[in-house]
């Protein structure tokens, strides 16, 4: 059986693409077809389908068929909380870096 570290790494790799993160955001509030996702993101259908495949393989997104159309939705809305935590973490790191640079510039100016 695959270790938890490997499962986490695989999961993060599969969502860690700018377009996949945008797809997750587009699907935040409701189920959408590939054409709707494509229209919102301005990408080719084949590109959207490739990324949806990764997200379905990771079990982040699920789909249902209705005739010849597939509709996708987020399987577990907690994914949005995970992404929000990452955004907050990055924002904190960025703020700390800016504070360090500002402090260093002030000290350099005073000396």
Structure confidence at residue 92 as a pLDDT band (50, 70, 90)? confident
Owner of token pair 């990324």: 51
CA distances from 86 to 35, 59, 68 (A): 29, 19, 36
Higher pLDDT, 40 or 108: 40
Averaged pLDDT of the chain: 88
Higher pLDDT, 100 or 74: 74
Average pLDDT over residues 80-100: 82
Q: Residue 55's CB: how many other CB atoms inside 10 A? A: 23
In this predicted structure, what is the pLDDT of residue 24? 96
Average pLDDT over residues 38-64: 95
């Amino acid at each position: 059986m695959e270790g938890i570290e490997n499962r986490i790494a695989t999961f993060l790799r599969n969502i860690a693409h700018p377009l996949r993160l945008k797809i997750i955001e587009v699907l935040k509030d409701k189920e959408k077809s590939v054409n709707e996702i494509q229209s919102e993101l301005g990408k080719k259908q084949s590109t959207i389908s490739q990324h949806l495949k990764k997200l379905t393989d990771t079990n982040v997104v699920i789909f249902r068929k209705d005739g010849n159309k597939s509709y996708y939705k987020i399987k577990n809305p907690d994914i949005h909380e995970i992404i929000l935590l990452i955004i907050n973490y990055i924002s904190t790191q960025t703020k700390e870096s800016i504070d360090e640079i500002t402090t260093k510039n002030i000290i350099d100016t005073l000396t």
